[in-house]
């Protein structure tokens, strides 16, 4: 369904990643000029840590850049993909990725963004493309469709100069950077910093005809959808037995007439506190040792209930509910990182509190891919903003320490420093003595 939605939004047909060319071309058309500025070949520095193979790749990177500047195709006999360089490469296409892109583009960092194509089962735009109306994203007094909000994010990124490729990153080399190497089937990008914002997808229980009722009663986010009129004062069910399931059930109990927690086992896997809280709630009832078999609907197409089986005796019965919420976990899109960044037991990228820094200096993570707790569009956007600033600080520190960067100067910091210097000089020239004119220039990004 997500695929169908995506196709509808893009108006193109894809059967495999090679066919993304259509989409890529569309991106190029939208952008007008998507190729980042050409980098002088001489600015490519080979890191002494690089292996011989990598060094030879650097040669081809170098050649590639030259050809790029000349407007010709790369001549690497082993690799016919396009090669290019970037100061920042953002991987992901949801609110975290686009917020980072908007900030970085405004700071004249010319970010390159890979929004993926059905990566982790999600269309470009991310999880919001799988839902209908969003009512809790600030700035939209009226509900806005998830897909429309994503289109707005994307357009804003483009307006400020982000280069977007509708390609999925299949491979990444973080061991030899910076520059870090990011690869898709069509392209290779060497970037000084990387922001991973690949999100997470809610795990769906593979029961019959589930797709038919997705957004028509079946959801994976109580906070997002729980207050919908579809569920208010009606019975709903939650599938799961961990802390998230308890939280979802307690949240839903504010609106629903009754909340069933359908659980496969005879004990809950949540913390004792959460289990007690849920089980003590007058509206919540645990349906022990049952599993869902299929969903069935009403004439208007919305969910009418689920068929469940008692695992103790095989007895099948129907549970009439207007809503079914999966709380069986999320799958963060981190497999492509191939163990190069520290992950927690659930596959989420580990970052320190209040920061988006990962275990690899220069690589940052934002949004649901590093947030196993809050997972909201606005928290993801906030993390994207932090990542953009941390990436800029990283580049600035590198530049100040004299480390090699692919791009000759960090435009933001150079412009800011020049403005401060000019303002100070002007104040001195005017003989303002101790009362130096305040340096009103600030980072472009803030």
Buried b (16+ CB within 10 A) or exposed e, 214-246: bbbbbbbbbebbbbbebbeebbbbbbbbbbbbb
How do beta strands 235-239 and 323-326 pair? parallel
* Given 89, 150, 224, 385, the catalytic residue: 224
Gap between the Cα atoms of 225 and 246, Å rounded: 16
Between 60 and 137, whose beta carbon lies closer to ligand FAD? 137
- Please give the angle made by the CA atoms of 327, 169 and 118, to the nearest 5 degrees: 50
Nearer to ligand FAD, 286 or 333 (CB): 333
**Cβ–Cβ < 8 Å for 285, 254:** no
Judged by CB under 6 A, does residue 89 bind ligand FAD? no
Cα 159 from Cα 85, distance rounded (Å): 21
Q: Which of 268, 306, 343, 377 binds ligand FAD (CB under 6 A)?
A: 377
157 binds ligand FAD (CB under 6 A): no
Least CB distance from residue 111 to ligand FAD, whole Å? Answer: 14
Is residue 202 involved in binding ligand FAD (CB under 6 A)? Answer: yes
Q: According to the binding rule CB under 6 A, does residue 114 interact with ligand FAD? A: yes
Q: Is 224 a catalytic residue?
A: yes
Burial of residue 312, with CB atoms counted within 10 A of its CB: 0-12 exposed, 13-18 middle, 19 or more buried: exposed
Q: From the CB of 98, what's the least distance to ligand FAD, in Å? A: 8
210 binds ligand FAD per the rule CB under 6 A: no
Based on the number of CB atoms within 10 Å of its own CB, is 402 exposed (0-12), middle (13-18) or buried (19 or more)?
exposed
Is residue 380 involved in binding ligand FAD (CB under 6 A)?
A: yes
Which of these, 28, 31, 61, 29, lies nearest to 43 by C-alpha position? Answer: 61
Q: Which three-class secondary structure string do you get for 236-267? A: EEEECCCHHHHHHHHHHCCCCCEEEEECCCCC
Stretch that binds ligand FAD, among 68-76, 127-135, 279-287, 410-418 (CB under 6 A): 127-135
Tally DSSP H helices, then E strands, for the chain.
11, 19
Helix, strand or coil, per DSSP, at residue 103: helix
Min CB(300)–ligand FAD separation in Å:
20
DSSP-derived secondary structure letter, 128: G
Describe the chain by its helix, strand, coil percentages, rounded to 5.
Answer: 35, 20, 45
Contact range with ligand FAD by CB under 6 A, out of 74-82, 287-295, 320-328, 376-384:
376-384
Tell whether residue 368 is a contact of ligand FAD (CB under 6 A).
yes
Q: Which of 192, 225, 243, 368 is catalytic?
A: 225
How far apart are CB 239 and ligand FAD at their closest, in Å? 15
Alpha carbon dihedral 305, 310, 315, 321, in 10-degree steps, equals: -10
Tell me if 162 contacts ligand FAD by CB under 6 A: no
Q: Of 197, 245, 292, 341, which lies in the binding site for ligand FAD, with binding defined by CB under 6 A? A: 197
- How many other CB atoms are found less than 10 A from the CB of residue 361? 14
Active site residue 89: no
- By CB under 6 A, which span of 57-65, 112-120, 173-181, 185-193 interacts with ligand FAD? 112-120
Cβ of residue 10: shortest distance to ligand FAD, in angstroms? 13
Given 23, 89, 150, 221, the catalytic residue: 221
* Active-site residue flag, 211: no
Is 323 one of the binding residues for ligand FAD (CB under 6 A)?
no
Q: How many chain residues bind ligand FAD (CB under 6 A)? A: 44
Smallest separation, CB 167 to ligand FAD (Å)? 7
By beta-carbon proximity to ligand FAD, the closer residue of 34 and 378 is 378
**CB 371 to ligand FAD: min, Å:** 7
Rule CB under 6 A: which of 214-253 touch ligand FAD?
219-221, 224
Which tokens is 335 given? 């497999």
Closest approach, Cβ 257 to ligand FAD, in A, equals 22
Residue closer to ligand FAD (CB basis): 68 or 330: 330
Give whichever of 13 and 280 is closer to ligand FAD, judged by the CB atom. 13
Q: 70: which 2 tokens?
A: 């000349």
User: Residue 408 in contact with residue 388, Cβ under 8 Å?
Assistant: no
Tokens encoding 245:
């399931």
Residue numbers annotated as active site: 221, 224-225
Residues that bind ligand FAD (CB under 6 A): 91-97, 114-116, 119-120, 122, 124-128, 130-131, 134, 136-137, 168-169, 197-200, 202, 219-221, 224, 333, 336, 367-369, 375-378, 380
């Amino acid at each position: 369904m997500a695929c169908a939605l995506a196709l509808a939004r893009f108006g193109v047909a894809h059967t495999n990643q090679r066919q993304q060319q259509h989409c890529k071309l569309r991106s190029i058309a939208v952008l007008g000029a998507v190729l980042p500025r050409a980098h002088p070949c001489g600015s490519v520095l080979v890191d002494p840590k690089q292996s011989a193979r990598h060094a030879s790749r650097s040669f081809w990177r170098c050649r590639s850049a030259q050809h790029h500047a000349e407007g010709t195709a790369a001549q690497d006999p082993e690799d016919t993909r396009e090669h290019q360089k970037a100061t920042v490469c953002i991987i992901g296409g949801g609110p975290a990725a686009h917020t980072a892109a908007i900030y970085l583009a405004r700071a004249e960092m010319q970010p390159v963004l890979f929004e993926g194509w059905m990566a982790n089962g999600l269309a470009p735009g991310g999880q919001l493309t799988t839902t209908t109306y969003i009512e809790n994203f600030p700035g939209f007094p009226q509900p806005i469709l998830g897909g429309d909000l994503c289109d707005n994010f994307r357009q804003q990124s483009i307006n400020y100069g982000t280069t977007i490729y509708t390609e999925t990153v299949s491979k990444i080399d973080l061991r030899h950077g910076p520059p870090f190497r990011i690869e898709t089937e069509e392209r290779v990008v060497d970037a000084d910093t990387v922001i991973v914002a690949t999100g997470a997808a809610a795990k769906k229980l593979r029961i019959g005809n589930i797709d038919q009722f997705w957004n028509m009663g079946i959801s994976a986010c109580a906070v997002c959808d729980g207050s919908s009129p579809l569920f208010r004062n009606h019975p709903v069910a939650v599938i799961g037995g961990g802390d998230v399931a308890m939280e979802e059930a307690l949240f839903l109990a504010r609106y629903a007439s009754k909340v069933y927690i359908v659980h496969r086992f005879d004990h809950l896997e949540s913390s004792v506190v959460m289990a007690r809280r849920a089980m003590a709630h007058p509206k919540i009832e645990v349906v022990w040792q049952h599993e869902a078999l299929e969903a069935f609907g009403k004439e208007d197409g919305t969910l009418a209930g689920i068929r469940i089986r008692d695992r103790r005796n095989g007895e099948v019965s129907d549970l009439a509910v207007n809503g079914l919420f999966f709380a069986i976990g999320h799958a963060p899109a981190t497999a492509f990182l191939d163990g190069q960044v520290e992950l927690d037991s659930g596959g989420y990228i580990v970052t320190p509190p209040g920061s988006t820094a990962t275990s690899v200096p220069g690589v940052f993570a934002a949004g649901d891919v590093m947030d196993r707790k809050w997972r909201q569009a606005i928290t993801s956007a906030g993390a994207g903003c932090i990542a953009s600033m941390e990436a800029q600080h990283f580049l600035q520190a590198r530049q100040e320490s004299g480390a090699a960067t692919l791009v000759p100067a960090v435009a933001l910091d150079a412009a800011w420093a020049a403005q401060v210097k000019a303002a100070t000089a002007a104040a001195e020239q005017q003989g303002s003595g101790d009362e130096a004119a305040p340096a009103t220039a600030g980072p472009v990004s803030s």
